[in-house]
Amino acid sequence: MRVSGFLVAGLAVACSIPVHAQDGYSILAWGSNAFGQCNVPEPNESFVDLSGGSGHTLGLKADGAVLAWGVNADGQCNVPAPNEGFVAVAAGSYHSLGLREDGSIEAWGWSAHGQCDVPEPNEGFVAVSAGFSHSLGLRGDGSVLAWGGNGSGQCDVPDTGPFIAIAAGAYYCLGLLETGSLVAWGGNYYGQIEIPQPNMGFVAVATGHSHSLALREDGSIVAWGRNNYGQCNVPEPNTGYTAAAGGERHSLALKEDGSVAAWGSNSSGQCNVPEPNEGFEAVAAGWLHSLGLSEPGVSIEGVCAPAVVQRLGLLSIAPNPFDSHTTLAFSSPGLASVTLEVFDLSGRRIHRQETSAFSPGQYTLIWNGTGLRGEPLPEGMYLIRLSGGGEASTTRVVLIR
């Protein structure tokens, strides 16, 4: 069965519509494997849906059970019981959503902003999507419910329905109307809610962290928003696409012939589609890893093996902007210690943390927006410096409250 479109997308996370096949498919995973998010549990078969978060992956089995693997610091891989009767999944940054066949939503993982507190009545849902700190649910009547963090208005759903598809970015949302036009709301730091014209003829939507993707009925993809790594530069020929997905700063698209196109940042090999690039049925993207449903029995052992690291390098910082904590992904050649420092725009150091004993590979550090004494810092722009072994990398991050 060839996927004809994609309906639901999570942060940095966007997955195609569930593939309804009796026997299901295998999941191929490539890119960053810092948390084991590419280590698909065995037996790797009978999967019908998939979704990727910041460092975890969800896979839906044909029998309605959900498997979750990767980072589990916030319980995002602890699927609630009974683990049965699920029909769709969506992974946020640190939380997970599952849609049950009775139309109710299960939510688990990080819920500091209430993103796992599904509104009542918890019924009548047909699709789910997860952002950084908010969640979306589409009901069968075309209405959309949003809950969780609302610092950028991402939960203020416009009264313009009925909707037929939804997608949650980090701090914003996309909705597809039955007329074929798009609606966007929430944060607009990079123009991700400024829908290109003509706003018509769309059949599906997807989101990355801060960039948007939409599929037109002619098989072309329109992409807009943050484009610092070319994640909005859809490869030519821009035709014959059937699905797409957005990661933290990369994009994926499924072609009619079953091949996958990948573009944008390739810092962790997330754009290195495994060979043979054929036989894919669906795609999904986490922050720094990529996923595809493929014919059963296909093996790509070693694709996610860590590359040889020769120097300290800052791979990404996400989410950015952030409101509670942000994660720095970096590569280490094998250092005795790595130091994370945060400065305000005047150059004053306001935070410092040091960690030790890094063997060669990829790692992450988390900054929770606090100062040297653990005090919450005011919103604004800060400089983050990662140093070790005589090398250093500096980037900017925006804290919002």
Just give the CATH number of 8-294: 2.130.10.30
Residues spanned by CATH 2.130.10.30 within the chain?
Answer: 8-294
pLDDT score for 358: 65
The partner residues of 243 in beta bridges, in order of sequence, read 254
The pLDDT value given to residue 1: 24
Local structure of residue 218 (DSSP, 8 states):
T
Per-residue model confidence as pLDDT tens digits over 100-142: 999 999 999 999 899 999 999 999 999 999 999 999 999 999 9
Other beta carbons within 10 Å of 368: 12
Q: How confident is the model at residue 74 (pLDDT cuts 50, 70, 90)?
A: confident
User: According to CATH, where is 2.60.40.4070 located in the chain?
Assistant: 313-399
Q: d(Cα 244, Cα 211) in Å, to the nearest integer?
A: 12
In the sheet where 86-91 sits, what is the strand order?
86-91, 95-100, 105-109
Among 11-20, 210-219, 353-362, 364-373, whose mean pLDDT is lowest?
Answer: 11-20
DSSP secondary structure letter of residue 376: B
Residue range 241-258: average pLDDT? Answer: 96
How would residue 260 be classed by pLDDT, with cut points 50, 70 and 90?
Answer: very high
8 Å CB contact between 130 and 136: yes
Kindly indicate the confidence band of residue 302, based on its pLDDT and cuts at 50, 70 and 90: very low
Q: Does residue 301 carry a pLDDT above 70?
A: no
Other beta carbons within 10 angstroms of residue 120's beta carbon come to: 6
Residue 188 predicted with pLDDT over 60: yes
Structure-model confidence comparison of residues 79 and 362, the more confident one: 79
Q: Which residues of 157-175 are buried (b: 16+ CB within 10 A; e: fewer)?
A: beeebebbbbbbbbbbbbb
Mean pLDDT of 269-287: 94
What pLDDT score does 357 carry?
57
CATH for 313-399 is: 2.60.40.4070
- What average pLDDT score do residues 47-60 get? 96
**Contact between 175 and 184 (Cβ < 8 Å):** yes
Residue 265 CA from chain centroid, whole number: 14
pLDDT score recorded for residue 363 = 76
Provide mean pLDDT across the span 200-207.
96
Q: What is the rounded distance in angstroms from the CA atom of residue 258 to the CA atom of residue 384?
A: 41
Look at residue 298 and tell me whether its pLDDT is greater than 60. Answer: no
DSSP code, position 93: S
Beta bridge partners of 284: 15, 291
Spatial contact of 316 and 267, defined as CB atoms under 8 Å apart: yes
CA 256/CA 98 separation, integer angstroms: 28
Q: Does residue 135 contact residue 119 with C-beta atoms inside 8 Å?
A: no
pTM: 0.78
User: What percentage of the chain reaches a pLDDT higher than 70?
Assistant: 90
Asked if 86 and 103 count as a contact pair (C-beta separation under 8 A), the reply is no
Radius of gyration for the alpha carbons in the chain, expressed in angstroms and rounded: 20
pLDDT of residue 15: 35
